Structures are given as structure tokens and as C-alpha cells.
Amino acid sequence: MSTPGSVLQVGPLKPSLAKTLAEDYAARTLPESPSERATFLAEHGAEVTAAVTSGRTGVDAALMAALPNLGAIVNFGVGYDTTDVDAAAARGIGVSNTPDVLTDCVADTAVGLMIDTLRQFSASDRYVRAGRWPVDGNYPLTRQVSNTRVGIIGLGRIGQAIAHRLIAFGCTISYHNRRQVPDSPYSYAASPVELAAGVDVLVIAAAGGDGTRGLVSAEVLDALGPHGYLVNIARGSVVDQDALVSVLLNGRLAGAGLDVFADEPKVPEELFALPTVVLLPHVGSATVQTRAAMEALTLRNLDSFLTTGALVTPV
């Protein structure tokens, strides 16, 4: 098991998880300020064998170099694009995440965002609260959700869960992936542009990181067109955010439902006034049940590494 100082918390974590790490594992927390961090690493860096972090913070190559005996990076969350996995592999450091346990809630969020964006329920709610219904009359007509053509970028666990839900709505599903999924019942598109050109709604469920950065480019958004909608529950980096803001402001995209952004928690203020855009503060997996399951799996990975040297859900 852990010895005092062998576990390091990197960045903010769920309060109950941070409390467990401190009380049950004698974990230290990496200081925020550069000068305090440098001093801390010089004094304690060699003691650390496991780092616990989240997709918000991650562990970069420079920090790995300052932790010469680091053996595992345990990530709270399914996304680990903020951790340099290539540098970790080169140093023989294992990296784990928390897959599966958040699939349902993130897929629910994608469907909820799609419904809200096309039907403008949040905007309709604001319309009522502002007292406009008796004054301005009925809210304008919106877009039907059922029987639409939906394209999914990233047909992994979450992408497939989204597709499964939307089939119940009578939607026609197609997808783009790095590789075609064997035996998938859904139509495969060879590129994001090809996918976008043939759908009404484009849902982003791809992993973040350099491999997918800007994958949904201005060209893809143009292919989606003025009657198309974008839903993103993946990572803000997957979409060219400047291009997205431009097409939304200029009416070259019908609407967008966004749970993630390029530089969180900053959100482009130009989008605030658009009734066709739904903005969520990265709450895709934010339910009591899912976050508890994520916390439990994080601790299982940490316990497994400390006792056996192996991770339960390595990436």
C-alpha cells in the first residue's frame, strides 16, 4: 500500500475523492504557484509513485520528469488528453481512466442537448420567464427531433450509446471513425466532411487530444450547412471554435448544443444571446450516481497499482 507522500494529487478533484486521498493515502497536493511547486518537487518529487489527476489538469512531460519514480497516472474521468501519454509510455508510466461508468450519463446529455437545441426548450423557458408570451404571442416554430438524420463522430462506447438512444427516436444514424467499426449497423462516412454533408445533426463523441484537434473544421461546418445542427459532448478542442462562432452568428448553421469549449470555463460571449445555441458548463457526466462510480473506479485503479503494480482500466 501507499507510504506517506507516495501519492500526489495533481489539480483540483471531487472534494470527497480529495478527502479520501489525503486521509486514507496520506496524499500530498501539488502546489499551484510555480515557485512553491518547484520547491515541493525538489524536496518530495522522488517520493511520488502515483499521481491522481483529472482531465481538467493532467500530467505533462515536465512534471513526469520531476517525478523520477512515478509509476502510474490515475485519471478521474474518461478523457485524458491533458496527460502526455506518449511521454508516459516512454518512461514506463501506466495511465488509467474511468471508462464505461459515465457512458450512460454522457449519452443522455447528448440526447438532451439535441432535443433542447432543435426544439429550443431553454429559450422557450426564458421567453416565458421574461413575460413575453402574453405580450408577443406564441413562441416561433422549431425543428422536429424524431426521424432526423444524425451523424456521430466517434463511435466508441459513448457514440454507440448515443446511437442506441436515437434509434428509439426513429433517427437514421451514420458515423465517422478513425477506423470503420466491424459489424456496425450504421452507415460509415470516410471523412467528417462527407458525414456532415449527409446529416441534419452532427454529434461529436470523439476523444480529445492532438489527434482530433480541429477535426470539425470550417469545411465540415459548411458541409453541415444553414439547416444543420452541431452537438458537442466530447472536447472543445475537436471543433474549430472560432469557425463555429462565425457560422452561428452569420446564420450559416441552424444551431448548436455545447457542453464543452476550447478554453474552459471561458465561453464565447457572442453566443450568449443566440436562442439557437444551448450552453452547458461541462456537465455531461455530472450526476451523483456517475461521479460516485467514477470516484470508486479511480480508487480501484490506485489501490490495484499500489498493491500489485497493475491498473484496472489502463488506457
pLDDT digits (tens, 9 = 90+) for 242-280: 999 999 999 999 999 999 999 999 999 999 999 999 999
Mean pLDDT over the full length of the chain: 96
Q: Locate 251 and state its grid cell.
A: 446564420
The reply to whether 65 and 35 lie within a common domain is yes
pLDDT at 2: 64
Phi, psi of 98 (to 5 degrees): -125, 75
What does DSSP assign to residue 80? -
Within a domain: residue 261?
yes
What is the tally of structural domains in the chain?
2
Residues 6+ apart with CB under 8 A from 245: 268, 270, 271
The reply to whether 15 and 47 lie within a common domain is yes
pLDDT grade for 208, boundaries at 50, 70 and 90: confident
What mean pLDDT is predicted for residues 150-168? 97
Q: Is the pLDDT of residue 128 over 60?
A: yes
- Single out the catalytic residue among 28, 235, 291, 295: 235
Within a domain: residue 247?
yes
The reply to whether 80 and 117 lie within a common domain is no
What are the residues facing 257 on neighbouring strands?
Answer: 231, 278
Within a domain: residue 235?
yes
The reply to whether 111 and 205 lie within a common domain is yes
The reply to whether 140 and 262 lie within a common domain is yes
pLDDT tens string 17-50 = 999 999 999 999 999 999 999 999 999 999 999 9
What mean pLDDT is predicted for residues 187-192? 98
Measured from the Cβ of residue 56, the count of other Cβ atoms closer than 10 Å reads: 15
Within a domain: residue 174?
yes
pLDDT at 56: 87
Q: Locate 270 and state its grid cell.
A: 457572442
pLDDT grade for 314, boundaries at 50, 70 and 90: very high
What are the residues facing 76 on neighbouring strands?
Answer: 54
The reply to whether 67 and 47 lie within a common domain is yes
pTM here is 0.89
pLDDT tens string 83-126 = 999 999 999 999 999 999 999 999 999 999 999 999 999 999 99
Closest CA to 162 of 75, 232, 260, 77: 232
- Assign residue 57 the CATH number of its domain: 3.40.50.720
Q: Locate 154 and state its grid cell.
A: 466517434
Within a domain: residue 1?
no
pLDDT at 209: 84
pLDDT at 211: 87
Q: Locate 153 and state its grid cell.
A: 463522430
Within a domain: residue 2?
no
Within a domain: residue 257?
yes
Q: Would the CA dihedral through 80, 283, 176, 227 be positive or negative? A: negative
Q: Is 179 a catalytic residue?
A: no
pLDDT grade for 55, boundaries at 50, 70 and 90: confident
Q: Is the pLDDT of residue 69 over 70?
A: yes
What mean pLDDT is predicted for residues 72-86? 93
- Single out the catalytic residue among 36, 43, 264, 270: 264
Q: Locate 71 and state its grid cell.
A: 509509476
Within a domain: residue 314?
no
pLDDT at 220: 98
Contact between residue 245 and residue 270 where contact means Cβ atoms under 8 Å apart: yes
The reply to whether 254 and 125 lie within a common domain is yes
d(CA 155, CA 103): 12
The reply to whether 19 and 49 lie within a common domain is yes
Q: Is 164 a catalytic residue?
A: no
The reply to whether 220 and 300 lie within a common domain is no
Residues 6+ apart with CB under 8 A from 166: 111, 114, 150, 173
pLDDT at 1: 57
Q: Which domain holds residue 209?
A: 103-279
The reply to whether 298 and 199 lie within a common domain is no
- Single out the catalytic residue among 28, 176, 282, 291: 282
The reply to whether 19 and 152 lie within a common domain is no
The reply to whether 150 and 31 lie within a common domain is no
